[in-house]
Amino acid sequence: MPITENQIISRLGRQKGLYSPLEVLSIKETKKSEPSVKVAIAWQSRRVEFRAVVKARTAPKLVREGLIRLRSYANKKKSLLIVPYLSKAILEMLENEGVSGLDLSGNYWIRSPEIVAIRLDQKNQYRESQPIKKIFSGNSSLVGRLFLSSKRRFDSVNEVWKVIKNLGGNLSLSATSKVLSGMEEELMIEKDRKGILLLQPDKLLQRLEEDYRPPKVTETVRLKIPEGLKWFAKLSSKPWVLSGESSAECYAVTTPSEISTIYTNDFGPFETYKEERFYNIVLKKTDDSFPYFDVREKRGIRWSSPVQCYLELSRLDKREQELATSVRKAILENLK
Amino acid sequence: MTDNDPLFHSLLELVRELDTDNIPIILGGGMSLYLRMKYLTSKTHRYPFDLQIRSTGDLDLFLSASLISDLEKIEGLKRVLDRLGYRVIPEAKNFQFSKQIMLYGQLRIVRIDLLAAPPDQAEKRKVEIKKPRIKPKGAEGIHAYLTQEAAGIEIGKELVDPRQLGSDLNLKNQILFIPSAYNYLILKLHAFEDRKNRTDNLSDSGRHHAFDLFATIARMREKDWEVARQHLKIESAQKYLKRAIKIRKENFSKLTDLGLLRLRESAMYRTGQEIYDPYLELLANDLKDLFPV
């Protein structure tokens, strides 16, 4: 069970020695004013009283809401944010706002006229069972991929879900909604009456890269097909797409691949071309939906999306990483 | 050549223009290895498998010592680059040039890097060297990156006829060359040494250089071995070759040496690991024969 704000207040009141030599003398809630929590902190003979906002979760959006509430208090230097754990991202936000922070793991960032005390070496004791975890990998990543596919505003969650489906993705409406909430918490999108809009494309692409996992391949065969990709171009009824790596030549200046990797969920007509040593096609069977999402068909060839291309190239060797940089630039340029 | 092969088209366009002024170039880098692998060699019985080589969006042009000291030719090269729409890249002023091209309706960049072999004593008086830059005395707006390890770049260089590459371009002059496989190995050994301990993404700890060494050796024909033997014989006292031998000895002697470890770590190697692994020892021995202590 995730910790609540009341539990944080209660635990802080009971902590003895956690912040030593810093000491939390008292913590109490008051209904009379905003911010509603008063915290008295002492360092040897020095004492300072803060007005605090408590946040039980550390998602950037929630932390920012807490900081906005603290802005209502005129004395910034005596404003304190209390969270389960002071992450690097939260510390940056505290520094920008010029307010102090304290966590339940024993870390503090106190910068008041009376006391300046910093301790940030304590491990996170309150890892959140993150509802937003894994929204950037596997099929959940389809939502993020959609926002990177073109610059547009969506009217509703339902519209996002439908467009994902139209582009070949497979994600339930409830999962789409969950991912959108997570993205909103991470301040990547804005959801309001006007619709849903991407705010930070570069951050989104970075999160997709950090959490990327390759498609789950259940079987691989190597084939020698004399006509190469032209042969595949005739197979309009079979689901197939070039891997992101083999799609590099569609999005970056490079030489064409001599050996192409293709994802498919049906090995049907291909098996007769098996060749283990002198192959020109590597066929990978996967039921994951994301490789087939936002496929770009040009002259009968089904290239993977620019995002899939970027994600695969960025995990390979130096030359591929150079190509990835150019694909990344193009993805972001397209959203300006 | 495919319809959508912008790097190839850029190379042919450049060569067509260079032909009018008879300006010879030696194509290095990934594109050179790509041409060698795809058009100029085939699998050998010693390494009977395919290897995938890819080039990034740049053309590395080696200028011979006689070319970089020839003011008229270098000015001609500058005019060709201007005519084709290449502009100086401000961060690498006057030795890297780029231009925009269209790829499936998207704007992309092709880059040309100029590199030069060091001039000999007779040619030194004709050039101006401000390391790492070199240009003929009097040249403006163009120079090349002085590459010491390319000192023997003209030995065994291989003439490429665009018609071998599937193009119908018929050149009047012999102007398009690729380095000998041996020179390519020398350049790659030096590049590996420079990058092997660099962990930034674009250095990749030298893994791609180790893979290029493997690919080059795997495709060496009997005549490439002969060129290598001759090269070694006549240049063995040269500093660049001694250094290449030292790098080979320190990094590619045993399977547990850093060079062979970096090779096995490279993503390209891992795609065919079960096929390549049995040939690692042969590779180490070949390198030892080519760069003996």
User: pLDDT digit string (tens) for A229-245?
Assistant: 888 877 766 689 999 99
Subunit contact A253:B8, Cβ cutoff 8 A: no
Structural domain includes residue A54: yes
| B163 phi-psi bin (left φ>0, alpha ψ -120 to 50, beta other) | alpha
Q: Give the H/E segment covering residue A35.
A: none
Which residues does chain B have within 8 Å of residue A321's beta carbon, measured at their own beta carbons?
A: 201-202, 204
User: How far off is chain B from A326, nearest CA to CA, in Å?
Assistant: 8
Whether residues A114 and A22 fall in one domain: yes
Q: Which residue range is the domain that position A237 belongs to? A: 217-333
Distance from CA of B279 to the nearest CA of A (A): 14
Q: Note the pLDDT tens digit of each residue in A122-163.
A: 988 887 655 556 899 999 999 999 999 989 999 999 999 999
CATH label of the domain that carries residue A259: 3.30.460
CA distance A276 to chain B (A): 9
Q: Is residue A128 part of a domain?
A: no
Q: Is residue A188 part of a domain?
A: yes
Are residues A206 and A221 located together in one domain of the fold?
no
**Same domain flag for A147 and A224:** no
Count of pairs with CB atoms under 8 A, one residue in A, one in B: 96
Instruction: Quote the pLDDT of residue B1.
Output: 47
> Position B134: which residue type?
I
Give Cβ neighbours of residue A209 (< 8 Å, ≥ 6 apart). Answer: A310, A311, A314
CATH number at residue A156: 1.10.10.10
> Per the domain annotation, does A16 fall within a domain?
yes
* Tokens (6 digits) for A110: 């106190």
Question: Do both A202 and A228 map to the same domain?
Answer: no
In order of B73, B81, B152, B208, B265, the CA distances from B54 in angstroms are: 31, 24, 25, 10, 17
| Domain C-terminal end among A165, A190, A210 | A210
On whether any CB of chain A is under 8 Å from the CB of B264, the answer is no
Do residues A329 and B107 lie in contact, with contact meaning Cβ atoms separated by under 8 Å?
Answer: no
Q: Please tell me whether residues A169 and A221 are part of one structural domain.
A: no
Decide if B162 contacts B12 (C-beta within 8 A): yes
Instruction: Compare CB distances from B266 to A249, A298, A317 and report the shortest one's residue.
Output: A317
Q: Both A111 and A152 in a single domain?
A: no
Q: Please report the DSSP string for A228-288 in residue order.
A: THHHHHT-TTS-EEE-TTTTHHHHSS-PPPSSEEEEES--GGGGGGB-SSS-SEEEEEE--
Q: How many CA atoms lie within 13 A of B147 on its CB side?
A: 29
Given an 8 Å threshold on Cβ–Cβ distance, is A316 in contact with B267?
Answer: yes
Q: How many domains does chain A have?
A: 3
Domain membership flag for residue A289: yes
A251, two tokens: 């999005």
Q: Is residue A133 part of a domain?
A: no
- Structural contact between residues A110 and A100, judged by C-beta atoms closer than 8 angstroms: yes
- Tell me how many degrees the CA angle B37-B39-B45 measures, rounded to the nearest 5: 55
Same domain? For A193 and A226 the reply is no
Closest Cα in chain B, distance from residue A324 (Å): 10
Name B213's Cβ contacts closer than 8 Å, sequence gap at least 6.
B185, B188, B189, B192, B252, B259, B263, B287
Chain A closest CA to B200's CA: distance in Å? 10
Q: What is the ipTM of this complex?
A: 0.74
Last residue of a domain, one of A210, A226, A252: A210
Average pLDDT, chain A: 89
Q: Which of A69, A87, A119 is a domain's end point?
A: A119
- Judging contacts by C-beta atoms under 8 Å, the chain B residues touching residue A253 are 6-7, 56-57, 101, 103, 108-110
- The minimum CA-CA distance between B105 and chain A, rounded to whole Å, is 10
CB of B55 closer than 8 Å to CB of B34: yes
Which residues of chain B neighbour A317 with C-beta distances below 8 Å?
Answer: 204, 207-208, 211, 266-268
The CATH number linked to A38 is 3.40.1350
A→B interface, C-beta within 8 Å: 248-259, 277-280, 282, 298, 315-323, 326, 330
pLDDT score recorded for residue A209: 94
Q: Which of B55, B57, B203 sits opposite A326 (nearest CB)?
A: B57
Q: What is the pLDDT of residues A309-329, one digit of tens each?
A: 999 999 988 889 999 999 999
Q: What string of pLDDT tens digits covers the 293 residues of chain B? A: 454 588 999 999 999 999 999 999 999 999 999 999 988 998 888 999 888 888 888 999 999 999 999 999 999 999 999 999 999 998 888 899 999 999 888 889 999 999 999 998 888 999 999 999 999 999 999 999 999 999 999 999 999 999 988 889 999 999 999 999 999 999 999 999 998 887 776 678 899 999 999 999 999 999 999 999 999 999 999 999 999 999 999 999 999 999 999 999 998 899 889 899 999 999 999 999 999 99
Chain A environment of B192 (Cβ under 8 Å):
none
- A66 with A167, same domain: the answer is no
Contact A258 B30 (CB under 8 A): no
Interface contact A316-B268, CB threshold 8 A: yes
Question: Whole-structure pTM over 0.80, yes or no?
Answer: no
Asked if the structure places residue A189 within a domain, the reply is: yes
Q: In this structure, are A254 and A156 located in the same domain?
A: no
Interface check for B194 against chain A (CB to CB < 8 A): the answer is no
Residues A289, A230 share a domain = yes
The answer as to whether A104 is a domain residue is yes
CB atoms B54 and A255 under 8 Å: yes
Q: Which of A126, A151, A137, A135 is nearest to A185 (CA)?
A: A135
CA angle, residues A127, A311, B270, in degrees to nearest 5 = 100
Angstrom distance (rounded) from CA A317 to CA B209: 10
One domain for residues A111 and A188: no
Residue segments in chain A with a per-residue pLDDT below the cut of 70: 1, 128-133, 236-238
Q: Between chains, do A319 and B56 touch, taking CB under 8 Å as contact?
A: yes
Contact A258 B53 (CB under 8 A): yes
Residues A221 and A327 in one domain: yes
Of B2, B57, B267, the CB nearest to A252: B57
